[in-house]
Structure 1
Amino acid sequence: MTQTPVHPPWAVADPVGEALHVLRMTGTFYCRSELSQPWGFALPPMPGCLWFHVVTTGRAVLVTAHETVELGPGDLVLVPRGEGHTLAGSPGAATPSILTLEHATSQANYGVLRTGGGGEATTMVCGAVRFDSPAARTLIDLLPALVQVPAAPASRLGDVLRLIALEVEEFRPGGEAVLTRLADVLVVQALRNWLETDPGARAGWLGALSDPLVGPALALVHRDPARNWTVASLASAVSSSRSAFAARFTAVVGEPVMQYVTRWRMHLALDRMRAEDVTVAGLARDLGYRSEAAFSRAFTRVVGQPPGTARRGTSR
């Protein structure tokens, strides 16, 4: 009788969910907008950030360099890579830079915008968020230039939108904190919706995450990059033979197992250099290298320059 393989306690059953789990967001700015026709404004490019806009009442037109979308109550749109764009109450309306419009600011990263000519009203919640995890940024880079999620009341996303609409309509003490947290949930729910419905979410790196053999292994590397992973240990973790796992990984991901592990560690190292005052020795230790020299060789091979040079280049 064949026994069912027993997965180790660190095995990951839902690699795509794990990718969503690491979507740690830094709210760059959130804004509650009270607008009246005619109205419009332009939002500047914000590389490295994701813009989101949700209409709670009224209508809006969003225009990027590549497309135009019309939004109604309950509609949500993401601009994943921070491309500059305009929002207006109707096509052809004037769109001055939002930086020239006065905001009532109650917190460093939260404001209220009131503008327009006194006509038909539109209310929106907008924001720009930055993702802290390299896994999250890899996911964001795979999204289309614009993600539109039409209103769907009978859904979890619809539930979040209703809560946001209530907070906008009945703004109470602590409303800024509630709105910013709901906005974070909204972005994750919108990404979940895209992952579940768009065929593009089943290709490339995301397709690899969905693979029943390779996906759990990728999630293990993302979760614990400093572990002393080998092809054999990852194959064992997903209950596969070493040869079958290695062949499958290369076919699905497009590179060998350990090449991916090393590249991922170096992405993390670069990310740490940009965000923290870290030493090369500290990075080597934290990413599982026995010596600074071994880490430096791997870093130079992947990044194209020694870690000391890269570290100096990220200094402000």
Structure 2
Amino acid sequence: MTGPHPTTLDALGEALHFLRMNGVFYCRSEFGAPFGLALPPLHDCMMFHVVTAGRCWLEVDGADPLALNTGDFVLLPRGEGHRLVSEPGADAPGLFDLPREVVSERYEVLRHGGDGPATALICGAVRFEHPAAHHLVAALPACIHIDASALPHLDWLHSSLRWMAAEAQTLRPGGETVITRLADIIVIQALREWIEQAPEARAGWLGALQDKQIGRALALMHRDPARAWTLATLASEAAMSRSAFAARFTQQVGMPAMQYLLRWRVHLALARLQARQEGLAEVAAGVGYQSEAAFSRAFKRVLGLSPGAVERPAAAR
């Protein structure tokens, strides 16, 4: 159901609200120094680690080792392969080469390493299923590190981490659900914190969302993709002339407004087709196409395949 058009602007908040996460994998890791763990790339996922006790190092190819201490949170938005080690350069066997205790389909416990100082982490991989995720991930750095000890104002992070650590330690009935929900909240909050603090978040798609006029146009397209938008109606909503709006939109977003709308509709339709809960005609109408043929042409132009060729993601299967 389409909500009312926004009268006050929070396009960025709405975009984050759209990001429905699907947890792919969660693991409680208990290490003893010396230790090492190599995680494979998961390029369609965001991977994160929360250090609940002790310390370790994060190694990503092409970057300096990153020290992680108790209470730290690190997010790899594009799911690059990486290593967690007790010291830089330590041997790191692959995740799937180590024995793991399978608690449920999506939750495991990993114990590995020697008799030295202990380190505990909550690790996870989440997938965003909304079209906004593609734009967001492209705008993010390769690694987001939040040093909780250096940011005393982040009370939400401290309390969430303590709660997550307690649940992971005992895993009472329902504990897996609590951990996964907390992980979702922490990932979204970490993204909000980065967006508020990072200068690079003022440019590109993220910057456009925070622009009063262009952000309004984006929010309207996001909320009501089926509306018969034109460049003129979008410019009117943004209280700009048609030419000024077209130029500023292209400059900030990196593509013309109508091209953005086309891609938004198609990626939104892709997510709905993958969910397999609606027929083709219903999906087409839901993103602004009265004709299945016109929808199929637009779909193929953007994605290079027909709507009928769409398969459900492996994780959903």
Shorter-chain TM-score range:
0.7 to 0.9
Distance 1:90 1:171 in 2: 29
Distance 2:250 2:41 in 1: 36
Choose from 2, 5, 11 the match for 1:10.
5
Structure 1 residue ranges without an equivalent (≥5) = 1-7
User: C-alpha displacement at 1:96, in angstroms?
Assistant: 0.7
User: C-alpha displacement at 1:214, in angstroms?
Assistant: 0.5
SS in 2 for 1:233: helix
Distance 1:10 1:114 in 2: 51
Moved more, 214-223 or 168-177: 168-177
Q: What CA deviation, in whole Å up to 9, does each residue of 1:252-300 have, x standing for no partner? A: 2233322221121122233444453865444322211121232233334
Choose from 92, 95, 98 the match for 1:95.
92
1:223/1:237 CA distance change after superposition, 3 Å: same
Asked whether the 8 Å contact 1:57–1:123 carries over to 2, the reply is yes
User: C-alpha displacement at 1:244, in angstroms?
Assistant: 4.2
Q: Please name the residue that 1:57 is paired with.
A: 53
Q: Please name the residue that 2:200 is paired with.
A: 200
Asked whether the 8 Å contact 1:16–1:206 carries over to 2, the reply is yes
Q: Residue 174 in 1 paired to residue 174 in 2?
A: yes
Letter in 2 for 1:291: S
Distance 1:145 1:267 in 2: 23
Distance 1:252 1:296 in 2: 29
**Structure 1 residue runs of 4 or more that deviate by more than 6 Å after TM superposition:** none
Q: What CA deviation, in whole Å up to 9, does each residue of 1:31-62 have, x standing for no partner? A: 11121111111111112001100101101111
Distance 1:281 1:306 in 2: 17
1:230/1:170 CA distance change after superposition, 3 Å: same
User: C-alpha displacement at 1:233, in angstroms?
Assistant: 3.1
Q: Residue 134 in 1 paired to residue 131 in 2?
A: yes
Asked whether the 8 Å contact 1:30–1:126 carries over to 2, the reply is yes
Q: Pairwise CA RMSD of aligned residues?
A: 2.3
Q: Residue 307 in 1 paired to residue 303 in 2?
A: no
Asked whether the 8 Å contact 2:45–2:78 carries over to 1, the reply is yes
Distance 2:90 2:292 in 1: 58
* Count of paired positions: 306
Asked whether the 8 Å contact 2:26–2:124 carries over to 1, the reply is yes
Q: What CA deviation, in whole Å up to 9, does each residue of 1:229-260 have, x standing for no partner? A: 22333334344454543343233223332222
SS in 2 for 1:77: strand
Q: Please name the residue that 2:32 is paired with.
A: 36
Letter in 1 for 2:213: L
Distance 2:176 2:274 in 1: 29
Structure 2 residue ranges without an equivalent (≥5) = none
Distance 1:31 1:153 in 2: 27
Distance 1:77 1:196 in 2: 17
Query: Sequence identity of aligned pairs in percent?
Result: 54
1:153/1:125 CA distance change after superposition, 3 Å: farther
